[in-house]
Amino acid sequence: MPNAPDGFDYDAALHACAQGDQRALQRLYEQDGRHLLGVALRIVRRRDVAEDVLHDAFVSIWQKAASFDPQRGAARGWIFTVVRHQALNTLRSREREVYAEADTLDALQEDRTDTVAEQFELQASMGRLNDCLGHLDSAKRNSIVCAYVDGCSHSEIATRLNAPLGTVKAWLKRGLAALRECMG
């Protein structure tokens, strides 16, 4: 998540949404719509589908604003979470279609396979997560980044990293356990 710019008050905006103030939702959209569309697009991989995801996520943010619980995490993080899970549910429910478009998928993979790790290195702003991911070996790290950022399933990670499915599952299991231990 990019650093929260210019002191935008996410809690106040969500509170105003819960009170029925549509302009508060619009302010959130103007503040982070492009970042959120970026997150959705990486996962669902199609521009029109990503915009549908953002649409549904914002309607959902509007509906759930009143139930947002600041005890459970920061408001901005919650908004990113809603968009990401909307994208993931969309991707997983479209999976058969995606397989039918295998050519597109192959093209995407060629674009990306080698760039995941490079992109990761470019990011110095991820703080503790950056350090802890840095302690993982590259197979585990790439599996985690591929899953989180690009919505890769187990079998997709296996294809991209050219590893057996069982190995990928073990990488993720051990990678998550190590991250959990490292980050607390």
| Interface residues toward another protein, by CB under 8 A | 1-2, 18-20, 22, 25-26, 29, 33-35, 37-39, 41-43, 47, 50-51, 54-55, 58-60, 62-67, 72-73, 77, 80-81, 84-85, 88-89, 91-93, 95, 119-120, 123, 125-127, 129-130, 144-145, 147-149, 151-154, 157, 172-173, 176-177, 179-180, 183
The token pair at 48 is 């029109």
Contact 161, 138 (CB under 8 A): no
CB of 154 to another protein, least distance (A): 6
CB of 108 to another protein, least distance (A): 14
Q: Taken in order 152, 155, 159, 165, is the CA torsion positive or negative?
A: positive
CB of 135 to another protein, least distance (A): 14
CB of 20 to another protein, least distance (A): 5
The token pair at 166 is 């069982």
Dist. CA 25–CA 1, nearest whole Å? 19
Q: Report the residue number, 135 or 180, with the smaller CB distance to another protein.
A: 180
CB of 67 to another protein, least distance (A): 6
Dist. CA 174–CA 136, nearest whole Å? 10
Q: Report the residue number, 104 or 123, with the smaller CB distance to another protein.
A: 123
How many other CB atoms are found less than 10 A from the CB of residue 40? Answer: 28
The helix/strand/coil state of 63 is helix
Q: Report the residue number, 2 or 166, with the smaller CB distance to another protein.
A: 2
Q: Report the residue number, 65 or 136, with the smaller CB distance to another protein.
A: 65
Q: What is the 3-state secondary structure (H, E, C) of 116-183?
A: HHHHHHHCCCCHHHHHHHHHCCHHHHHHHHHHHHHCCCHHHHHHHHCCCHHHHHHHHHHHHHHHHHHH
Q: Report the residue number, 106 or 128, with the smaller CB distance to another protein.
A: 128
